[in-house]
Structure 1
Amino acid sequence: MNNFWMILSQSYINKLKTKPFIITTLLVAAVIIAAANFEQIFSNFGDDNEQAKVAVVDQTGALYEPLKEQLAAAGANVKVVKSDQTEAQLKKDVEKEAYKGYLLLERNSEGMPSATYKAENIANSSLSSEIRQALQALKTREVAGKLQLTDEQIQLWNAPVSFDTIALAKGAKSEEELIQAQALVYVLLFLIYLSVIMYANMIASEVAIEKSSRVMEILISSVSPIKQMFAKILGIGLLGLTQLVIWFAAAYIAMVNQPDGSLVQSIGLQSASGSMIIYAILLFILGYFLYATIAALLGSLVSRLEDVQQMMTPLTLLVMAGFFISMYGLGNPESPFITVTSYVPFFTPMILFVRISLLSIPPWEIALGFGVLIAAIIVFGIIGARIYKGGVLMYGKSNSLKDMKKAFELSKDN
């Protein structure tokens, strides 16, 4: 066992000290902090605090002042300026950046307010949206005036409809709980995808590098290939856990210090139930072990680092398929397709959590899903150990999944 812990610690410590790992960890942590504070950061650049200046040509002679008042009342980031210039002159002013754009006010065939906004480009949709909302309010006011509605009647007219959703099933989640669950699902899906892309590839690359440098021949003489495989899986797993803890700490610190309230509270993560968090952690760990075991055996089949990506492609495609099925499941968690795929081991870590989060499913279905996943890990662990044992002895061009049979036969002879 001493050799096992030696390889485990070597896989962990050596990678922990590398510059790419340190730079990636710090860079992602910085991006997380910046993303949580992007509004404050971007507010310090450009002219976001300055009102956009828009020229208005009021062809009706009666809409400019009401529009100006409506924009001011709504707190719009738009400053309108009445103009009697021609469109040709206004176009030149827009090109010289004297105005962001110009607005042509008129009335349609029904006598209702209508407008045309022209600018160099219309990428700033928030600007045109604020003007559109102000005009919509003017139209509503005019229609209400023609119908001789009182202020109370106008408020009643604009009041949103009262609409509540209530689940009848026992133990079914409320709408607020569903929002919280969806937030956790997104986090878990991202982590599983990230772990496969980064850590599973890291395991496969580690094995390929040792084979290409012939270090594997020395290791085999002192440590069994099976111990090597699981030591690397656990070592890289601890490395990933270290990285994730740092990123979560950075995210938590950035979110809870928001000036306008915690982002954690706004998406409901703070009030997420303990059972949901436990399910998320367990499924993430089991998912990692499943994919890491497969990655280790795939890495043992190649002798060059350049071939790792090609060998890992099927595994990456499986994770992508699980991710997209899970996205579909967020909107249709009761679909028979989602139910069936939640028991396919490659997809279970993601899709089972979607069902647990959004539905009230019987405990036996949860137990069955976990049982299928654990059984798959054991089966792939046994098969993977045999293939790994033979694969590390294979050199030359071995970058095809057909080489699994050859590796399996070699493991019987050693």
Structure 2
Amino acid sequence: MNKFGIIIAHTYLTRIKTKSFLITTAITIVLILLAGNFQTLMNLFGEENTQVIAVKDESDEVLDGLKEQINTTGSNIELEAFSGSNEEAVNHVQEEEYAGFLEISLRNGLPQAHYYSMQGNPSSITETIQQAMQPVKLTMAADKSGVDPSVIESIASPVSFETTALEENAKSAEDMSSARGLVYVMLFLLYISVIMYGNMIAMDVANEKSSRVMEILVSSVSPVTQMFAKIFGIALLGLTQFITIILAAYFMVQFKQEEFTGGVFDYFGLQAAAASTFIYALVFFLLGYLLYATLSAMLGSLVSRTEEVNQLMAPVIYLIMIAFFIAMFGLSSPDNSLITITSFIPFFAPMIMFLRVTMLHVPIWEIMLSFGLIIATIAMLAIIGAKVYKGGVLMYGKSNSLKDLKKALQLSKRE
């Protein structure tokens, strides 16, 4: 146990002092601070300043109604009547006195518009104006045809549609919203952790092999002890990084709590999530990390140069990418048969079964079966990985093919 702790401490302390760890942690914290102050930065750079649009309404019938519709959108667009020529209006836009120029005319008694701006491309301004003109056009069409505007409004209004869950334990819309937020967080955390820390484990093994330290370690420490010591050492490093980032995010949220009311926080609804959901998130995350970390350590022992790590780690990256994309698809269709089947595949289960557990009512036996399959796979990888690790750490030279697994197993049998 003492040797196990020594290797964990050595792995942790060596990695925590590296420039890559410090730089990535600092960059992540900076990005969080920028995200938290996004609205302030936008205001600073004038993105929320009122956009004044010159409007020439040849019919004198559209502008007032268009102003009312624009005001209901809550946008920062202000329409200002313009009585000069088109050339004068265009000159004002080019001199940046107006954000754009809107020319409105009638065709067959209905409004049509032509918008002039420096870019000319569709933008948030053109989309807002176009959407605001639609109800104005409907009202004018109703008046022209003698139809009551309330009839047009009732036709254009969304159809009333309600849902009733017949399953006793079906989750409500609020529960689904809360689940969606945690699933997003879980997917990205596990995806980033596997890619970043799995690669780090493989790199750490390859670095020690290149310095010939392995030959001493293998003779004094069992392969299983050495492999899992590195896995837990890197896990401790990741935990340190996550805690640092979470604390930075927590203090930022506390400092700007009023600005974060509503919006994305209401959409994710993390405060309404049940305690069991957080427990499932933690368990699936730990199991997913151990699964991929064990595989990464085993593959890392097959290479003797750090340049070869990325090539041999490709299967791990492909597995986690496939799981990630399936899970993203499952967010909109969690009861799909593909999601159900893949939730029992060990390399996909940490993401996909967690998605099912949080967004659907899943029988407890299915959850336990998924847990068992993941744990069994970790145990199998640990047994095979220990043998491959024992033989792989003694392999030098060019080793960037999975065919080297057989060679590593053969070397592990030699005493």
C-alpha change, 1:377 and 1:175, in structure 2 (3 Å) is same
Residues 1:307 and 2:308 are matched in the alignment: yes
- In the alignment, which residue of structure 2 is the partner of 1:222? 220
Distance 1:196 1:122 in 2: 44
How far is the alpha carbon of 1:259 from its aligned partner? Answer: 1.7
**Counterpart check, 1:190 vs 2:191:** no
Q: Compute the displacement of 1:296 (Å).
A: 0.3
Q: TM-score, normalised by structure 1?
A: 0.92
Percent identical among aligned pairs is: 48
Q: Is the 8 A contact 2:16 2:237 kept in 1?
A: yes
The alpha-carbon distance between structure 1 residues 30 and 329, as it changes in their structure 2 partners (threshold 3 A), is same
Determine helix, strand or coil for the equivalent of 2:331: helix
Q: 2:54 aligned with 1:28, yes or no?
A: no
Q: Name the SS for the 1:35 alignment partner.
A: helix
- 1:75/1:285 CA distance change after superposition, 3 Å: closer
Counterpart residue number, 1:258: 257
Equivalent positions of 1:314-353 (< 5 A) are 314-353=315-354
Greater CA deviation, 90-99 or 353-362? Answer: 90-99
Question: Which residue is 1:38 aligned to?
Answer: 38
Compare 173-182 and 382-391 and name the one that shifted more. Answer: 173-182
CA-CA distance at 1:113 after TM superposition? 2.1
Q: Which runs of 5+ in 2 are unaligned?
A: none
Contact 1:37–1:254 (Cα < 8 Å) also in 2: no
In 2, Cα distance between equivalents of 1:402 and 1:73: 66
Shift of 1:376: 0.4
Contact 2:206/2:305 (<8 A) preserved: yes
Q: Does 1:77 align with 2:68?
A: no
Task: Pick from 136, 139, 142 the counterpart of residue 138 of structure 1.
Answer: 136
**How far is the alpha carbon of 1:148 from its aligned partner?**
6.7
User: 1:408 matched to which residue of 2?
Assistant: 409
Which residue does the alignment assign to 1:211?
Answer: 209
* C-alpha separation in 2, matches of 1:102 and 1:108: 19
Question: Is residue 102 of structure 2 the alignment partner of residue 108 of structure 1?
Answer: no
1:295: Cα distance to partner?
A: 0.3
Partners of 1:204 and 1:308 within 8 A in 2: yes
Letter in 1 for 2:59: T
In 1, Cα distance between the equivalents of 2:266 and 2:250?
A: 11
Matches within 5 A, 1:140-159: 140-143=138-141, 145=143, 147=146, 149=148
Q: Distance in 1 between matches of 2:399 and 2:282?
A: 36
Contact 1:165 1:175 (8 Å CA) reproduced:
no
Q: CA deviation at 1:69?
A: 4.9
TM-aligned CA deviation for residue 143 of structure 1: 4.7
Return the alpha-carbon distance in structure 2 between the equivalents of residues 76 and 37 of structure 1: 20
AA aligned to 1:78 is I
Q: CA deviation at 1:156?
A: 6.4
TM-score of the pair, normalised by structure 2? 0.92
- The answer as to whether partners of 1:216 and 1:392 remain within 8 angstroms in 2 is yes
1:385 aligns with 2:383: no
Whether the 8 Å CA contact 2:343–2:349 is kept in 1: the answer is yes
8 A Cα contact 1:265 1:271, kept in partner: no
Indicate the SS of the match to 2:323.
Answer: helix
**Inter-partner Cα distance in structure 1 for 2:52 and 2:174:** 41
> What's the counterpart of residue 371 of structure 2?
370
- Shift of the 94–243 alpha-carbon distance from structure 1 to 2, 3 Å rule, reads same
Q: Give the Cα–Cα distance (whole angstroms) in 2 for the partners of residues 190 and 73 of structure 1.
A: 37
> 172-181 vs 244-253, which deviates more?
244-253
The answer as to whether partners of 2:224 and 2:382 remain within 8 angstroms in 1 is no
Partners in 1 of 2:194 and 2:301 — Cα distance? 17
Q: 1:265 to 1:102 in 2, by over 3 A?
A: closer
Corresponding residue for residue 242 of structure 1: 240
Determine helix, strand or coil for the equivalent of 2:116.
strand
Amino acid at match of 2:20: P
Write the distance in 1 (CA, Å) between the matches of 2:88 and 2:149.
43
* Aligned match of 1:60: 59
SS at match of 1:404: helix
Q: In 2, Cα distance between the equivalents of 1:66 and 1:86?
A: 23
Structure 1 residue aligned with 2:47 = 48
SS in 1 for 2:105: strand
Of stretches 291-300 and 31-40 in structure 1, the one that deviates more from structure 2 is 31-40
Distance in 1 between the 2:77 and 2:286 partners? 51
- Aligned pair count reads 411
- The structure-2 alpha-carbon separation of the partners of 1:179 and 1:70, relative to structure 1 and needing over 3 Å to count, comes to closer
Give 1:72 deviation, angstroms.
Answer: 4.6
Is structure 2 residue 316 aligned with structure 1 residue 292? no
Q: Which whole-Å CA distance do the structure 1 matches of 2:265 and 2:83 have between them?
A: 51
Residue matched to 2:396: 395
Residue correspondence of structure 1 range 155-174 to structure 2 within 5 A: 161-174=159-172
Distance 1:70 1:339 in 2: 46
1:31 positional shift: 1.1
Q: Quickly say closer, same or farther: Cα 1:124–1:30, change in 2 above 3 A.
A: farther
The 1-side partners of 2:72 and 2:28 are apart by: 41
Which stretch of structure 1 is more off in the superposition, 92-101 or 256-265? 256-265
Please say which of residues 131-140 and 214-223 is displaced more in the overlay: 131-140
What's the offset of the Cα at 1:9?
0.9
Are the aligned partners of 2:55 and 2:81 in contact in 1 as well (CA < 8 Å)?
yes
Cα separation, partners in 2 of 1:333 and 1:170, compared to 1, 3 Å: same
Letter of the structure 2 residue corresponding to residue 231 of structure 1 = A
1:283: how far off? 0.5
1:36 CA displacement: 2.8
Q: How many angstroms does 1:130 deviate by?
A: 2.7
Alignment root-mean-square deviation, CA: 2.3
Deviation at 1:356, TM superposition (A): 1.0
Classify the secondary structure of the residue corresponding to 1:201.
helix
Change (3 A) 1:173 1:294: same
Q: Give 1:374's aligned amino acid.
A: I
